[in-house]
Chains A and B, each alone.
Chain A
Amino acid sequence: MLRSEKWYGYLFISPMVLGFAAFLLGPILTAFFMSFTNWSLFKETSYIGFDNYKTAFTNDPVFWETVGNTLYFSAGLVPLNLLLALGLALLLKNKLPGIGFFRTAIFTPVVTSLVVWAIVFKYIFATDAGMVNQLLEMIGVQGPAWLYNMDLAMPVVIVVSVLKNVGLNMVIFLAALHDVPKMYYEAAELDGATRWNVLTKVTLPLISPSVFLALMLTLIGSLKVFGQIYVMTGGGPGTSTYVLVYYIYQQAFKLYEFGYASAIAFILFFIVLALTLVQWSVRKRWVHHEQ
């Protein structure tokens, strides 16, 4: 009996284990090996040690620009997304009539295709026909060429991305707020605490594990931004919105420089890993765990 259960167990997990080997473990080991070669569609492959990494760090100004742009995107997106999501969750947590409608509406963009979302916003921010500039013109202001302006393109992409995904964090926060025991609020009210005190001393510490989760997910996601850049700006104007994944895409699937692209992909991986570890290590300072 037990013997057969063992084999059933292995049988049941075998598709996922084989898939893991073929589509995750195999590729990651290959990519690691590739990053130490000049693997390309056009030349003989040879082992070149750390040359790809050296080139990226010392001899490729575009690489540094993409790193800078990626960090700029994250630095703009993460706080905006978390603050807005938290604010919305606080507004949505009470059972008021019609609250379900607002909850659903704000979550709807999460379900929508990123490409569709980006296309519509490209249109909304278009220079002549765009809604934003048409509205500005109504009050007599000449709107800028949003997506063709070096300083404005990235902020526009950030705002568009926040609106697309804020619903996801909102839901995570709503679930957390739901779990805060009512007695804490009753106690705070008896003590005459102000709304701000209740928020900072009671609510935030109690939902901090969820804030941490949302922070990690949003940060990692933001470092891998691609679709909205591809659709809205194509990395431009100039290289002002060139981000890491867009650069990897260009190197690997447009120029077929697989070795160099793999090295950059691993650098992205290490950036993600490093930021995750930093977050993890400072977590104890602000994430509160109930005993």
Chain B
Amino acid sequence: MSNKSFSRRRAGSLAANTTTYVLLSIVTAIVLVPFFWMVTTSLKHQSKIFLFPPQWIPRPFVWENYVEVFTRQPFHLYFFNSTYIAVLVTVGTCLFAALAGYAFAKLQFPFKNTIFLVLLSSMMIPTEVTAIPLFEWMTALQLVNTHFPLIVPPMLGAYGMFGVFLLRQFFITVPSDLDEAAKIDGCTPWTTFIRIMLPLCVPALATLCIFVFLHSWNEFFEPLIYLNSSELYTLPLALSLFTDQSGTEWHLLMAASVIATLPLLVVFFFAQKKFIEGIAMSGMK
């Protein structure tokens, strides 16, 4: 290649790269503005929210808004509710999905593939259809206005099935020599699962964990229909408490939104590479 065409190509790719950066910066700015706006509003004094021209940086920073979120509502309670529900759902889903995924991938039993296909097909059912009878049943069992419907049905329902599918795919890729060797050494399927398979599937399990935790933490529809008493509220639902007929307290609502979003963004920041890869994988195969 001659020197001239080489430098022309260099110039061309430089221009292309600049265009790429400009376009990406625009989209990124649009996507990040809501976060910026959320954080700055959460630190403004109530009287400064409607100022014109708008204050892009709050003067002064009103950290008291964050204190007020907790004194106005028992926000620590909502935080606790969201956390323990998400943890239980995540642990349960991962354990049961891993057990079933391992059985479908590595154990032999009659009707295995038929059962798997039936479970898989349930991922097609929209939650809106099943929500109505489930609500009736929970009413009959007097479990409405408890956390039970937010923990057990998600764990063993549609999200659980997704987990089974994801982990079965993973266990299939584990060489069969491993579990055959374990079998010869006298391991039962249970000890093989706990000692060999579970440690091996940590990467896949981590992806499923983050997935399920995110979903549970952000879930809105189920808490909305099942919870009446505000002390049982989860974070997404609790946010509505800062809006009423007399208006919205934007500074408190935004502070509460930051509190509800921050833990996830921190986790996501550290896990993002694995997580995005995991999504790309499960989306593709």
Give A residues with C-beta under 8 Å from B.
1-2, 4-6, 8-10, 12-13, 15-20, 22-28, 30-31, 34, 84, 87-88, 91-92, 94, 96, 100, 102-109, 111-117, 119-121, 123-124, 128-129, 131, 134, 137-138, 163, 168, 171-172, 174-176, 178-179, 210, 213, 224, 226-227, 230, 245, 248-249, 252-253, 258, 261-262, 265-266, 268-269, 272-273
Contacts and interface: CB of A to CB of B under 8 A. Distances in A.
Contacts, number: 258
A254 to B, nearest CB: 10
Given A120-B254, A123-B254, A269 B126 contact: yes
Contacts of B129: 27-28, 31, 262, 265-266, 268-269
B109 A10 contact: yes
B126 A129 contact: no
25 contacts: A4-B189, A6-B110, A9-B103, A9-B108, A12-B193, A23-B153, A26-B133, A28-B130, A88-B27, A105-B28, A109-B34, A112-B261, A113-B261, A120-B38, A120-B254, A123-B254, A213-B283, A227-B220, A248-B128, A258-B136, A261-B132, A262-B133, A265-B131, A265-B132, A272-B126
Contacts of A115: 218, 220, 236, 239
- Which 5 pairs show the lowest CB-CB distances between chains A and B? A19-B156, A175-B280, A9-B109, A12-B103, A27-B130
Given A30-B133, A261-B132, A105 B20 contact: no
B270 to A, nearest CB: 11
Given A31-B132, A113-B261, A105 B32 contact: yes
Interface of B is mostly: helix
Interface string B99-143: 110111001111010010011001011101111111111000000
A16 B20 contact: no
Given A12-B99, A175-B283, 12 more contacts: A16-B99, A17-B100, A23-B153, A26-B133, A27-B132, A88-B27, A113-B236, A115-B239, A119-B253, A252-B135, A262-B132, A265-B129
| Residue from B122, B239, B268, B280 whose CB has the most chain A CB atoms within 10 Å | B280
B50 A123 contact: no
Contacts of B174: none
Residue of A1, A116, A175, A252 ringed by the most chain B CB atoms within 10 A = A116
Nearest to B273: A100
A275 B227 CA distance: 34
B280 to A, nearest CB: 3
A128 B248 CA distance: 13
Q: Among B41, B107, B124, B253, find the residue whose CB has the most chain A CB atoms closer than 10 A.
A: B107
B24 interface: yes
Nearest to B41: A123
B157 A19 contact: yes
B30 A24 contact: no
B175 interface: no
Contacts of A258: 132, 136
B189 A13 contact: no
B66 interface: no
B1 interface: no
Interface in B243-285: 250, 253-254, 257, 260-261, 264-265, 268-269, 272-273, 276, 279-281, 283-284
Contacts of A137: 52
Contacts of A20: 118-119, 122, 156-157, 161
B73 interface: no
Nearest to A5: B107
Contacts of B164: 16
A109 B49 contact: no
B200 interface: no
A121 B34 contact: yes
Nearest to B110: A6
B221 interface: yes
Given A8-B190, A20-B161, A13 B221 contact: no
A219 B41 CA distance: 34
A84 to B, nearest CB: 8
Contact of A129 (B34, B50, B188): B50
B24 A9 contact: no
Given A6-B109, A24-B158, A266-B129, A253 B135 contact: yes
A105 B31 contact: yes
Contacts of A213: 283-284
A268 B37 CA distance: 36
B28 A102 contact: yes
A16 B272 contact: no
B132 A131 contact: no
Query: Looking at A8, A10, A88, which has the most chain B CB atoms within 10 Å of its CB?
Result: A8
A103 B31 CA distance: 11
A2 B254 contact: no
A175 to B, nearest CB: 3
Contacts of B281: 175
A209 to B, nearest CB: 8
A16 B165 CA distance: 11
